[in-house]
Structure 1
Amino acid sequence: MSNPTDKRRILVIDDSEAIHTDFRRILNPEQRRGRDDLDLLEEALFGPTPSRATAAAEPEFEVDSAFQGQEGLAKVTEALAAGRPYSLVFLDYRMPPGWNGAETLRRLREVAPALRVVLCSAYSDYSWAELLQEFGEHQTLRELRKPFNGQEVRQLALTLTTPSNNSSAAG
């Protein structure tokens, strides 16, 4: 198992507890359930399943939670000060009663301009063109529609936290 400091750090900023649970299950599938006797017997008879073999080779994620934009900004600022910046933020568009996703993103860009952010929502409060016009560079900003596909979330996390694709989250 890798050292906890080697894990790719991800922050989920969303007002829904269920969304945080979903992200944890998707990004850390082995935490979802323990291996029981049937799993061990299956592995002994047939060898490791492709999903387990793949999971063993994939990086681990450290997933933190913030339930409002202000809390998310504080966590990003603290992480930078501690020298353990986040590699990626999944950010909800709508988080009443606090800042919405656009306002939170504006504040995040002030402290961590190169931080990769995936905006998540079932609603179209802003057009993608408007967001790109305001926040620029497509490399650091992506969009994910809810309800999201777990494989898509995991692939985004893997791709956007790859060190060669994520030169400096601290900016």
Structure 2
Amino acid sequence: MRRTKRILIIDDSEAIHRDFRRVLCPEPKANTHLLDQLEGALFGSAPASSAGGKEEAFEVESAFQGEEGLDKVRQAEDSGQPYALVFLDYRMPPGWNGVETLRHLRQVAPGLQVVLCSAYSDYSWEEILREFGEARRLQEMRKPFSSQKLREMAAELTGVSAASAP
């Protein structure tokens, strides 16, 4: 049984949250169940996906402001079910921006993988790396980005094999 990787999206745009879910948690194809039944009938055994449905590689949750995201990360850490990855927007008026949110996240979950996402930034990438000094656990993805780039980055940073990523 493959364990899903928990991902938190912190962005003030509902449309961005829908896009992330569409890419990282696609709806199963309608004919998958029928194909599983046919395979079982032909080969005499039920395929793994028939037993309990296809397990998603990612479980995606949402926060619409930095403060809300920090609360979710804190709760996840406290419950022993931490997030594997956070996609964090740079600008989220009227609350904390992405860098301020990241400062707080690092106090709660210092090893958390974070991808800062935006079409623009109030900080240069060099300034951010100087402050946080952790290129291994901190990445940047500029908007707009392709679905393939998002899937690849999520799979790489969470340790999900590309073959099992949606």
Tell me what 2:59 maps to. Answer: 62
1:129 aligns with 2:117: no
1:98 to 95, 98, 106: 95
Tell me what 2:74 maps to. Answer: 77
1:35 to 30, 37, 54: 30
CA distance in structure 1 between the aligned counterparts of 2:131 and 2:54, rounded to whole angstroms: 38
Change in CA separation of 1:80 and 1:15 when aligned onto 2, cut-off 3 Å:
same
Aligned-partner SS, 1:138: coil
Aligned-partner SS, 1:12: strand
1:22 to 19, 22, 26: 19
Gap regions ≥5 residues in structure 1: 45-55, 164-171
Change in CA separation of 1:112 and 1:126 when aligned onto 2, cut-off 3 Å:
same
CA distance in structure 2 between the aligned counterparts of 1:146 and 1:9, rounded to whole angstroms: 22
Tell me what 1:48 maps to. Answer: none
Q: Under a length normalisation based on structure 2, what TM-score does the superposition of the two structures give?
A: 0.80
CA distance in structure 2 between the aligned counterparts of 1:124 and 1:157, rounded to whole angstroms: 21
Q: Under a length normalisation based on structure 1, what TM-score does the superposition of the two structures give?
A: 0.77
Gap regions ≥5 residues in structure 2: 40-52, 161-166
Residues 91-130 of structure 1 show CA distances to partners (whole Å, capped at 9, x for unaligned) of 0000000000000000000011110000000113111100
Tell me what 2:140 maps to. Answer: 143
Aligned-partner SS, 1:91: strand
Q: What residue identity is the alignment partner of 1:104?
A: T
- After TM superposition, the runs of 4+ consecutive aligned structure 1 residues lying more than 3 A away are 56-59
- Give the number of equivalent residue pairs: 144
Tell me what 2:43 maps to. Answer: none
Aligned-partner SS, 1:15: coil
Aligned-partner SS, 2:136: helix
Residues 18-63 of structure 1 show CA distances to partners (whole Å, capped at 9, x for unaligned) of 000000011112x2x64159x96xx99xxxxxxxxxxx99961000
Change in CA separation of 1:110 and 1:117 when aligned onto 2, cut-off 3 Å:
same
* Root mean square deviation of aligned Cα: 2.4
Tell me what 2:47 maps to. Answer: none
Say which one has the larger Rg. 2
